[in-house]
Amino acid sequence: MFKWLAGYLPRKTEVSRREFRPDLAKLSAILGYRFSDKRLLIRALKHRSFLPQVNEPRVESNERMELLGDSVLGLVVTDALFRQFPQKEEGEITTMKSLLVSRKVLARAARDLNLGRFLLLSESEDHSGGRYRPSILADAFEALIGAIYLDGGLKHARRFVEENLLATMDDTLADEGHRNFKSMLLEYSQSQNMGAPFYNIRSEEGPDHNKIFTVEVKIQNQIVGSGEGNSKKRAEQQAAQHALEQLKK
């Protein structure tokens, strides 16, 4: 049944053969899509760490498929937002799109599909938790979209995105826990031809173990927001959120 993976089995390892044989039939059932060309599905599952074990070049990883899937995903999501929110301006649609295609949201969608269990990873990557790593899961989700697009066209890729991402769009947009305000501010400012935001630490107060950072963010040399937090990252996120609120008024 798995002749396509016969050459993938490592010769100098104690890892079982089963570990390198994802159940493609089961995965297809979960995805709700049956591939005509299973090689595309296999490519979408291959993390670059897996390639040295099977003596394949870097180009055989899922990274090229991920690039394609990212573009298809962007088109489908933008089209959906454009149609569903006819009163929203360009910057607002850009902000919503940024959230929906963020790594955190895509990783959650991949986890909902239990995609991690089917990935082709190196033994070390697997043992270090690669099947649960958000970056790997998000990339694999995009690669999967690319594979479906190549196998069945935009119609099937769109349906996959609608069922596995856009079906929960309202909840995702309403959940601030998913938001990366720095990324959203960057995309908004660029969409408005305002240039990139610049973050500056205005002050640090308190002892080393309990510092409070105050950060201001500037666009075109004008302060557009400020924020505080017990880390630079949190203060910057708060400043970006404040800036977005001010700019959209």
> Quick check: helix, strand or coil at residue 132?
helix
Which candidate in 66, 125, 142, 236 is catalytic?
A: 142
| Active-site residue, 70 included | yes
C-beta separation of 40 from 25 below 8 A: no
Query: Residue 225: CA atoms inside 13 Å, Cβ hemisphere, count?
Result: 26
Of 108, 113, 112, which Cα lies nearest the Cα of 28?
113
Interacting residues of 101 by C-beta distance below 8 A, sequence separation 6+: 70, 73, 74, 77
- Long-range contacts (CB closer than 8 Å, 24 or more residues apart) made by 56-64: 62/139, 62/140, 62/143, 63/139, 63/143, 64/146
How far apart, in Å, do the first and last CA atoms of the chain sit?
60
Indicate the pairing of strand 212-219 with strand 222-229.
antiparallel
CB atoms within 10 A of CB 77: 22
What residue ranges in the chain does DSSP mark as E strands?
A: 198-205, 212-219, 222-229
Which candidate in 66, 70, 139, 236 is catalytic?
A: 70
| Active-site residue, 208 included | no
Give the residue numbers annotated as catalytic, written as ranges.
70, 142
